[in-house]
Structure 1
């Protein structure tokens, strides 16, 4: 892996103007990626709003090289989610500053710490599922949104009482608007535009977080916010209020809607595989494999990205100019039969007893910028599905699979992961 000043060698791609390519990307996101791969191969060059000139890759070796390249070669995009999550968000930080903050924020989301949060997730799941109707079709996505939001507010924010209620009301419209603005090339300039409303909601959010910080300083609890306040850099300094506010919003955004959407996709997939439902009743280990396979076949985020920082960066077959974005298409590598045999088939058994290669199975991104809350999200999905399958029977369906629907950043089942359920009896049989 070397850098050198040499003429660029770029993969082929469409030559339409940026605006035209942008419209195509917005209106045909996943289908468009697949068509471009069919026409140009597993790497192609695009020119789209927000990213600008970019190379899209889906070759496993090139993805691994990208994820293992140092920040002097490729690093965070100049235009990133920091514009909606804040300048101190992990999505906005680069280089040494990103590394320093990530080191502080990893411990609360790994090992035995996760076990302390499982009870909260199960409590929220049982509370929400109590409202589910029997023998009547309904969308599960709204329920999954409430479960993951409540769990994060309690386990991560340490919110309760007035702050819990206020954040529950504020955050859904706030996150939805931010998700849409993140992918829309809308300038922040101008008096009347969606950014004004977003900034007003952000001020309300910051005010609530300030109150939570004051309470956590006065009476620390067993939540992530309290740990953030106690953690220290090597020089003895701690995270600033802005750091904490932006990182809490980042953790919420990365772990709320995406996790809930994956859970809705899990319901959608399981109802169409009754033989798997039967196996899950007696095989707890298969649940882990099922979650991995849902994330492979229905990744809710399609792109993870880097930006070239040195001219003449050699990436596999290509030589890329400084400033180019490199976009990894998660869906394209997950759909590759050479990587996952019979990739179009939903088959959790492919992961039974084996962990996936994290340079090929990449729903959480990869490398030093892999999702910080991946372990927390996996724990949430495991607890929610385990509780659901323990307390309910999912009624199978022969209906076609639900289409992909863009919610801004995430791709959700178009009908919200519709389910028909029957409550299991307390004696272990079915009603």
Structure 2
């Protein structure tokens, strides 16, 4: 891990171009630029950029793990995302306040609790793929968004009826806009009127808070409160060590955070899974055979490999609170650390043939190596990692059980930035046919007209 030090500053090498040129280059090529710099300068590179200031781009997996294991008295996560979702969100917290909040939030997303949500995931996956056309190419991303949105609303919010409909309408545009604004200067988030980005965020949030306030009131008045499985109820019942509950305002912020973290990211990973599997027909056939046999080992390895080669969050940031030693370098306080998850997971010393999509690399050990950091690490590691993995596993299992995906020899889909997340540029396109014997195999396929009327992605030949 990184250590505090009083040694003289010793920054890694890097380009000497004006900071506005470096900043513009990074915005234009957020993946290609760090990759090129790593090839030229090594696993840590110094840059100077507007807004971020002195920046060290870290791609060496060893240094990445060191940073993830460093205490939050030395480095902290910038609160850019917290400014979007609210002051009560864990994305706005650091230090002991974050540790306390994590202690309350982690239990609902692990162990038996996660398994209880599998039925919801399968129901929502079946509901959505029943609308998919057969034999026509279409984008799967919008469908994946609907699956994960409905799962989160039911499992986390406990929403139903009109509240479910309202959140279905307001959450997706709110999350997408927030993702795009999160890395921009704070001035962009100010409410400058109805059509300003900050004004739109404020109006989305008022609608969300109105629904959440009603859900909180309904949960508290429910005679079966103690038996409710949704995360909202668990947060209402949670207590800090001093016996105090989480405030309603902070619960609302946390629910929006869980939505932002768990809805878009998982749906993008599912779209990437479709994109990857269609280009690896032998693996696709093996996975289908495994589903039919009731096994899951290869499917879990495939999920890990999707997240390694196409991480939705391909980088994360930290800020130094004081001077630290990181490997051979001494980095001053108030510096930005830009940690490349994607490049760390493509290091050939840790992942042989790193650009090959090869889930078999995990089958011998049955686990990921330490350099696999798709969910981050340390106190900032994603608390919903087990939930997201379960959701992907059940959704992929259900799709492979019910559908035959037509392979393709088209070029891989490019990465497309959605702000903080990376999506397949063409939406994870697929061609599917229903398999006989499945649940959907006994139901009539929807026509393209019905597909369009439901608001699903229209098919294109």
User: Does TM, normalized by the shorter one, top 0.5?
Assistant: yes
| C-alpha distance in 2 between matches for 1:89 and 1:249 | 8
Gaps of 5+ in 1: none
| C-alpha distance in 1 between matches for 2:5 and 2:299 | 47
- After superposition, the Cα gap between the structure-2 partners of 1:324 and 1:357, relative to the gap in structure 1 and judged at 3 Å, is farther
Number of the residue aligned with 1:289: 301
1:13-412, aligned counterparts within 5 Å?
13-77=14-78, 79-185=79-185, 187=187, 188-189=189-190, 191-192=192-193, 193-219=196-222, 220=225, 221-283=228-290, 284-311=296-323, 313-357=324-368, 359-412=370-423
| C-alpha distance in 1 between matches for 2:300 and 2:347 | 22
Greater mean alpha carbon deviation, residues 356-365 or residues 63-72:
356-365
Greater mean alpha carbon deviation, residues 264-273 or residues 217-226:
217-226
Could you tell me whether the CA contact under 8 Å between 2:88 and 2:250 is conserved in 1? yes
Gaps of 5+ in 2: 291-295, 443-461
Q: Give the TM-score of the pair, scaled to structure 2.
A: 0.90
Q: Secondary structure at the match of 2:91?
A: coil
- After superposition, the Cα gap between the structure-2 partners of 1:148 and 1:49, relative to the gap in structure 1 and judged at 3 Å, is farther
Q: Give the TM-score of the pair, scaled to structure 1.
A: 0.96
| C-alpha distance in 1 between matches for 2:59 and 2:313 | 15
Could you tell me whether the CA contact under 8 Å between 1:392 and 1:424 is conserved in 2? yes
| C-alpha distance in 2 between matches for 1:203 and 1:427 | 43
- After superposition, the Cα gap between the structure-2 partners of 1:390 and 1:202, relative to the gap in structure 1 and judged at 3 Å, is same
Kindly tell me the number of residue pairs found equivalent between the two proteins. 429
Could you tell me whether the CA contact under 8 Å between 2:60 and 2:347 is conserved in 1? no
Could you tell me whether the CA contact under 8 Å between 2:62 and 2:371 is conserved in 1? no
Could you tell me whether the CA contact under 8 Å between 1:359 and 1:366 is conserved in 2? no
| C-alpha distance in 1 between matches for 2:413 and 2:237 | 45
Could you tell me whether the CA contact under 8 Å between 1:74 and 1:309 is conserved in 2? yes
- After superposition, the Cα gap between the structure-2 partners of 1:427 and 1:389, relative to the gap in structure 1 and judged at 3 Å, is closer
| C-alpha distance in 1 between matches for 2:191 and 2:297 | 54
| C-alpha distance in 1 between matches for 2:55 and 2:74 | 15
| C-alpha distance in 2 between matches for 1:309 and 1:157 | 36
| C-alpha distance in 2 between matches for 1:296 and 1:257 | 17
Shift of 1:85: 1.2
| C-alpha distance in 2 between matches for 1:342 and 1:136 | 34
Could you tell me whether the CA contact under 8 Å between 1:134 and 1:420 is conserved in 2? yes
> Is it true that 1:423 corresponds to 2:424 in the alignment?
no
| C-alpha distance in 2 between matches for 1:235 and 1:427 | 52
Q: Secondary structure at the match of 1:191?
A: coil
Greater mean alpha carbon deviation, residues 353-362 or residues 83-92:
353-362
| C-alpha distance in 1 between matches for 2:77 and 2:410 | 42
Q: Which runs of 4+ in 1 moved over 6 A?
A: 427-431
Shift of 1:18: 3.0
Could you tell me whether the CA contact under 8 Å between 1:159 and 1:212 is conserved in 2? yes
| C-alpha distance in 1 between matches for 2:99 and 2:178 | 25
Q: Secondary structure at the match of 1:91?
A: helix
Shift of 1:46: 1.8
| C-alpha distance in 2 between matches for 1:430 and 1:170 | 34
Shift of 1:75: 2.0
